[in-house]
């Protein structure tokens, strides 16, 4: 595997392969040449979420444009565990944090959901996707978590595939501790559901508990903020059923 000077990594949309050239848009050119001070001949890593990571060399550098020539393949394409994060949006900065950390922690799909007590500003999936891209660039990943359009929780559950189990982060103290519940849980497609700052309504919680494949759990004796709860639940799932132990589990992918 080729060594990348400075460990600079850039997500691109173009196909990657031997002999390919990647054209840079103005934002990418500004980042590489004005911020990172790269020049013609300098090397960096690029990935597109499909073709693995490639070593690239700056072929042309301008103020608002440029191009990269692919040199050789680096790390192969990885497939994330088949894990979705469903979360109720909260304040802007904390929602951004949830998306960033979910991408770093290996979620394949990030799904904002509107619950009865959701109280958040307008959601911009394009901005959230930019955070997922930046997280993938910084943490050395070859895929980018999908960021879905927001949807009402009830509508999402209406069409839910029972083959995808839901780790329901339930605030009631009657649920099992998450670590113990996950230790006995099967592998396969999963989703983690985190509620808003006001919690789930009684109707929402009752519906979730009655659904097949839903595992209600608690995240410990303390009440966690929604952004902290998302990180805790993702970490617990990854440790028990995800790819933290080495190879991704069977059936990985979005």
Q: Model pTM?
A: 0.90
Instruction: Give the pLDDT confidence of 7-42 residue by residue, as tens digits.
Output: 899 999 999 999 999 999 999 999 999 999 999 999
Contact 163, 189 (CB under 8 A): yes
- The neighbour count for residue 52, using CB atoms within 10 Å, is 17
Is 249:242 a contact under the CB 8 Å cutoff? yes
**CA angle, 108 as apex, 102 and 113 as ends, to 5°?**
65
The domain spans of the chain are: 5-73, 83-241
Dist CA 148 CA 114 (whole Å): 13
pLDDT tens digit sequence for 83-109:
999 999 988 899 999 999 999 999 999
Residue range 5-73 forms a domain whose CATH class is mainly beta
Pairing verdict, β 53-61 and 66-73 = antiparallel
CATH number of 83-241: 3.40.1280.10
Decide: 80 and 254 in contact? Cβ < 8 Å. yes
Q: Quick one: what percent of the chain has pLDDT higher than 90?
A: 84
pLDDT reading at 250 higher than 80: no
Over residues 145-160, the pLDDT tens digits come to 999 999 999 999 999 9
Nearest of 49, 48, 58, 51 to residue 6 by alpha carbon: 58
The CA distances from residue 111 to 84, 108, 149, 247, 248, in Å, are 7, 10, 7, 25, 21
């Amino acid at each position: 595997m080729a060594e990348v000077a400075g460990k600079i990594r850039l997500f691109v949309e173009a196909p990657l392969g031997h002999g390919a050239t990647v054209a840079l848009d103005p934002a990418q050119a500004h980042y590489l040449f004005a911020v990172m001070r790269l020049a013609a001949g300098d090397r960096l890593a690029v990935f597109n979420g499909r073709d693995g990571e490639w070593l690239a060399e700056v072929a042309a550098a301008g103020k608002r444009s440029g191009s990269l020539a692919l040199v050789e393949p680096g790390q192969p394409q990885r497939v994330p565990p088949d894990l979705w994060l469903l979360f109720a949006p909260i304040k802007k900065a904390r929602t951004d944090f949830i998306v960033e950390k979910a991408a770093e922690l290996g979620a394949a799909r990030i799904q904002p959901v509107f619950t009865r007590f959701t109280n958040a500003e307008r959601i911009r999936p394009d901005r959230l996707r930019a955070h997922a891209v930046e997280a993938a660039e910084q943490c050395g990943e070859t895929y980018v978590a999908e960021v879905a359009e927001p949807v009402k929780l009830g509508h999402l559950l209406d069409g839910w595939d029972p083959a995808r189990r839901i780790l329901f982060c339930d605030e009631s103290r009657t649920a099992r501790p998450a670590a113990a519940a996950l230790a006995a849980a099967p592998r396969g497609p999963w989703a983690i559901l985190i509620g808003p700052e006001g919690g789930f309504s009684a109707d929402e919680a009752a519906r979730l508990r009655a659904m097949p494949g839903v595992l209600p759990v608690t995240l410990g004796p303390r009440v966690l903020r929604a952004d902290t709860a998302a990180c805790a639940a993702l970490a617990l799932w990854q440790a028990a059923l995800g790819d933290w132990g080495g190879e991704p589990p069977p059936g990985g992918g979005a």
